[in-house]
Amino acid sequence: MNSATNLARGRSIATQPLSRNFSLRETKELIQDLFAPKPLLYWADFLMTLSVAYGFAALYIMAPPFSLIQVATFLVSGAALFRVGTFIHEIVHMSGRTMVGFRCAWNVACGVPLLMHSLLYSNHLDHHNPRKHGTPADGEYLPLASAPTRETVLYFAQVPVLPLLAVVRFLVLVPLSFLHPFLRRWLLERWSSYAINPYYRRAIPPTEPQRLWIALDGVCFLWLVVILILVLKGLLTWTMVGLFYCLSTYALGLNWVRNLAAHRYANMGGEMTFAEQVEESINIVRNSLVTLLLFPVGLRYHGLHHLFPSLPYHALGEAHRRLMNALPEDSPYRRTCCPGFFTALRDLLRGARVAEKRGDDAMRLWRSANAKI
């Protein structure tokens, strides 16, 4: 697609109506002053959360096995690791030279040690591509509400496997990928996306930062080599490694649970209009402990995020308030609002049960798309 076509599509989306009275451009004017990120807030939030995550992780690993202290520190550190990890979502939406120091610090302190450097989430931009959202070409979408309930079970079955696959990727596949360009391309297409869609194949753009990929992959490889050496020398034990595996699986599991309330997941695989994409996304509007735990760093306003992906997380609450006060009753944006996580989960499972009774299985399209690759 050439630049002129991209520009035309951008103009088309910008002028699409959010109701009979409001276009997207007019809606953006309501919150125009909220788009500037506040670096100090980012840094303070990140560093405090990181300190809690690693501090309590150390206490968890050193605590007596199965003690109350170990259970408590496990729960706290896992939740904090989940929270600090979600800053990857903010980083992926930062363009150009925006907060370069913060992005580097996050990768050094979090991305590399947790084997989730920020380039591994560049596939998220496909999720915002108007032609890919909600289709098999979207790495962050599965039609769970239009498929049998077993697909939701299989969705969760990925969680305990993914930390192990990350180790295999960096420790084995990364060094092997430099033996031949084909292997390197295969790695970047099929093993380089943190996505929920196991059938997803990442398209490598012409502007791919190859040197940065090599640098971050190489540092993660060296990190694992150091850990392996420490274990072999007896400075770390396999028990410690196992404990951290449990911690990372718990943190990842929280994200997997949270993700069930990001969208309706009812699309059958065809392209959606912009208004349909907005309506299909969810804003969690009820303040509760569950909302605080499962939707950190602005993730509760996922519908709003799909309207304005570059809006920083600290501005989402105020932006949502302004839109709800200003937009008319017929605005699709209002239909993104969901009282809480359990309401969204109930609706998803209800849709899955209906699909099961009807014999519908939208996942067939996802599987067939993978078979063609």
DSSP letters of 12-74?
A: HHHTSBSSSS-BHHHHHHTTGGG-S--HHHHHHHHHHHHHHHHHHHHHHHHSPTT-HHHHHHH
| In-domain check, residue 25 | no
- In this structure, what DSSP letter does residue 179 have? T
Q: What are the percentages of helix, strand and coil residues in the chain, rounded to 5? A: 65, 0, 35
| In-domain check, residue 5 | no
Q: What is the pTM of this model?
A: 0.92
Determine the residue type at 220: C
Task: Using the predicted structure, report yes or no on whether residue 189 has a pLDDT greater than 70.
Answer: yes
| In-domain check, residue 360 | yes
Q: How far is the C-alpha of 186 from the C-alpha of 206, rounded, in Å?
A: 16
| In-domain check, residue 328 | yes
Residues 6 or more apart whose CB falls under 8 angstroms from that of 211 comprise none
pLDDT in tens, 311-367: 999 999 999 999 999 988 888 889 999 999 999 999 999 999 999 999 999 999 999
| In-domain check, residue 7 | no
Residue in the structure block whose two tokens are 């609002």: 337
**Residue 327: which domain range?**
38-372
pLDDT in tens, 269-318: 999 988 889 889 999 999 999 999 999 999 999 999 999 999 999 999 99
pLDDT in tens, 108-161: 999 999 999 999 999 999 999 999 999 999 999 999 999 999 999 999 999 999
pLDDT in tens, 229-264: 999 999 999 999 999 999 999 999 999 999 999 999
Q: How far is the C-alpha of 105 from the C-alpha of 146, rounded, in Å?
A: 41
CA torsion through residues 180, 184, 189, 192, sign: positive
> Mean pLDDT over all residues of the chain?
92
Task: Using the predicted structure, report yes or no on whether residue 23 has a pLDDT greater than 90.
Answer: no
Beta strand ranges found along 110-256 (DSSP E): none
pLDDT in tens, 46-75: 999 999 999 999 999 999 999 999 999 999
| In-domain check, residue 10 | no
Closest CA to 12 of 321, 360, 274, 338: 274
pLDDT at residue 164, as a whole number: 98
Helix pair 68-85, 238-259: axis angle to 10 deg: 60
Residues 6 or more apart whose CB falls under 8 angstroms from that of 232 comprise none
Q: How many domains does the chain have?
A: 1
pLDDT at residue 10, as a whole number: 38
| In-domain check, residue 4 | no
| In-domain check, residue 30 | no
Enumerate the β-bridge partners of residue 225: none
